[in-house]
Amino acid sequence: MQKRDGHIHTPFCPHGSNDTLRQYAEEALKKGFDSITFTEHAPLPPSFTDPTPLKDSAMAQASLERYINEISRLKKEYRGQLAIRTGLEVDYIAEFEDEITLFLDTYGPYLDDSILSVHFLRAGSSYLCLDYDEHTFKELISACGSIEAVYEQYYRSIYSSIVASLGSNKPKRVGHITLVQKFIKLFPYSMSEHIRGLVSQCLSAIEENGMELDFNTSGLRKTYAGSVYIEDWMLNEAKQKKIPLVFGSDAHQAGDVGYAYETFLKGAN
Ligand SMILES: [Zn+2]
Ligand SMILES: [Zn+2]
């Protein structure tokens, strides 16, 4: 089996480290990987306002061309040693489907392998970034009315992302399907039958649409998550449905490339 890390950030991430693309590639080689995908946070839709204090959730549109060019240079440099794919982690925000589609129509042809993630949920007239910090998550709970209501909105949004058209360059992989649990140790909640039902619907839609799942280990590095971003029962359902599981470290610094790969080997096989 190919050893692959399909979710890696870069120096183009405004909330990540300045480690260079080459440092990420070298780390991958050192850890015996055959293949990596750089999946920087794609520029947000032009008319969407990033709700985070520093507005640093995603890369700037102005950097995108350089991002694509630098990765394609690195691809050539590592040819024969390490397969490098160009990708993006694209945010799905329901009300901005048209802008997301236009973006993908324009830049999709330069991408090999991308991820579709939900980080922003609507709270009243604005949005909140659900994984920004515990205070924001608390705000989200107040805005939605309960923890269960946050989960409900999250999984409805994930479902919409899976069935949305978004054009022929729509990303194939659903990112960290339990990101909503990032602060679970502070806001304990075990999924009700209703929420589990929504997750199952998401998995069925992933299967029907020929998509993949990100087996994201970054939750293990997060104090209040403490777990990979997928539950065992979801893994079992995914395996029954033969949904491809792709390891993703979600590294925002070179040292985290390949993070907890052994968990993937145990969990995904
Ligand atoms: Zn990030
Ligand atoms: Zn993400």
Measured in Å, residue 16 CA sits from the centre of ligand 1 at: 6
Lookup: tokens for 112: 């090999």
Q: Please tell me the number of the ligand nearest to residue 182's CA.
A: 2
- The pLDDT score that the predictor gives to residue 269 is 79
- The pLDDT score that the predictor gives to residue 1 is 81
Measured in Å, residue 247 CA sits from the centre of ligand 2 at: 14
- The pLDDT score that the predictor gives to residue 138 is 98
Q: Please tell me the number of the ligand nearest to residue 251's CA.
A: 1
- The pLDDT score that the predictor gives to residue 66 is 98
Q: What is the CA radius of gyration of the chain?
A: 17
What are the residue ranges of helices labelled H in the chain? Answer: 21-30, 64-77, 97-107, 134-144, 147-163, 193-208, 232-240, 261-268
- The pLDDT score that the predictor gives to residue 35 is 98
Lookup: tokens for 84: 């490098």
Predicted TM-score (pTM) of the model is: 0.97
Q: Which regions of the chain are under pLDDT 70? A: none
For 58, the 3-state DSSP assignment is coil
Please give the residue range of the domain that contains residue 122. Answer: 4-268
- The pLDDT score that the predictor gives to residue 121 is 98
Mention every residue, 6+ apart, whose C-beta is less than 8 A from residue 106.
none
What is the count of structural domains for the chain? Answer: 1
Inter-CA distances, 27 with 31, 68, 88, 129, 169, Å:
6, 20, 20, 30, 29
Measured in Å, residue 16 CA sits from the centre of ligand 2 at: 12
- The pLDDT score that the predictor gives to residue 109 is 97
Q: Please tell me the number of the ligand nearest to residue 9's CA.
A: 1
Q: Please tell me the number of the ligand nearest to residue 117's CA.
A: 2
144/156 Cα distance (integer angstroms): 13
For 168, the 3-state DSSP assignment is coil
Measured in Å, residue 56 CA sits from the centre of ligand 2 at: 13
242-263, pLDDT tens digit by residue?
999 999 999 999 999 999 999 9
- Residue 14: which CATH number? 3.20.20.140
